[in-house]
């Protein structure tokens, strides 16, 4: 039997990987927030879209500087992902929670000990009531090669990443299945 759950429709689309969005301008003001509503949108040119709540500090900084980064943290740091996703940078300086540096192609910050990160410049945005979908050209995509190969992506024998299910509830990536 199916039941209507439209108020929580997005939970039907979870779990989703939880990343940390870096925003702002190095040396001026920077911020980090958790985001699961992140998706690749084009290969040529490389593009990613992020859906950001208009009330967040991140939204304000992306509007101002037109840049953001997407940082992939290991499951062992899920508590940091949760922390930057549960308080606003307007109330607390969250850059103390991670080791940050300026991006190479953008002035927005990247997380040094991330598994990988994307440096993005906003090329388009779509306003959707309480959220803005920012579309960014990916100017750089750096990865820790100990845990990743271009042929088969992440090596989940060596690392895992957090998948956000709801609120404080996360999963890890599970069983590998090779379709024949
Ligand atoms: C795992 C997780 C995923 C989240 N995903 C998103 C998201 O995709 N978009 C969004 O706007 N907020 C998302 N949030 C909520 C923001 O991270 C949260 O509102 C944060 O406090 C905003 O911080 P800021 O005001 O410093 O930008 C998520 C929170 C968590 C814990």
**164 within 8 A of 170, measured Cβ to Cβ:** yes
Counting from 1 in the atom list of ligand 1, the atom nearest the Cα of 18 is 1
Phi/psi for 29 (5° steps) reads -155, 135
pLDDT of residue 162: 98
Task: Classify domain 6-172 at the CATH superfamily level.
Answer: Electron Transport, Fmn-binding Protein; Chain A (2.30.110.10)
- Between the CA of 43 and the centroid of ligand 1 the distance, in Å, is 26
pLDDT of residue 110: 98
Name residue 34's beta-bridge partners: 20
**94-152, pLDDT tens digit by residue?**
999 999 999 999 999 999 999 999 999 999 999 999 999 999 999 999 999 999 999 99
pLDDT of residue 129: 97
**51 within 8 A of 132, measured Cβ to Cβ:** yes
> Is 0.95 topped by the overall pTM?
yes
Query: Rg of the chain's alpha carbons, rounded to an integer?
Result: 16
Phi-psi region of 129 (alpha: psi -120 to 50; beta: other; left: phi over 0): left
Instruction: Give residue 83's pLDDT band: very low, low, confident or very high (50, 70, 90).
Output: very high
| Ligand 1 pocket, mutate which of 22, 56, 77 (most atoms under 8 A from CB) | 56
Reference 109, options 65, 78, 143; nearest CA is 65
Q: Where are the alpha helices (DSSP H) in 8-77?
A: 57-65
Distance CA 39, CA 49 (A): 5
User: Where are the chain's structural domains?
Assistant: 6-172
């Amino acid at each position: 039997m199916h039941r209507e759950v439209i108020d929580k429709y997005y939970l039907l689309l979870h779990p989703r990987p939880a990343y940390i969005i870096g925003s702002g301008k190095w040396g001026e003001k920077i911020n980090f927030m958790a985001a699961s509503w992140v998706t690749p949108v084009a290969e040529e040119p490389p593009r990613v879209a992020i859906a950001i709540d208009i009330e967040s500090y991140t939204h304000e900084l992306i509007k101002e500087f037109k840049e953001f980064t997407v940082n992939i943290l290991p499951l062992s740091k899920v508590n940091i992902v949760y922390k930057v996703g549960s308080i606003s940078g307007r109330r607390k300086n969250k850059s103390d929670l991670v080791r940050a540096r300026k991006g190479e192609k953008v002035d927005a910050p990247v997380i040094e000990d991330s598994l990988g990160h994307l440096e993005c410049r906003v090329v388009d945005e779509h306003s959707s009531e309480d959220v803005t979908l920012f579309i960014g050209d990916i100017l750089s995509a750096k990865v820790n090669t100990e845990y990743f190969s271009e042929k088969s992506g992440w090596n989940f024998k060596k690392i895992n990443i957090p998948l956000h299910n709801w609120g404080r509830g996360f999963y890890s990536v599970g069983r590998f299945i090779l379709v024949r």
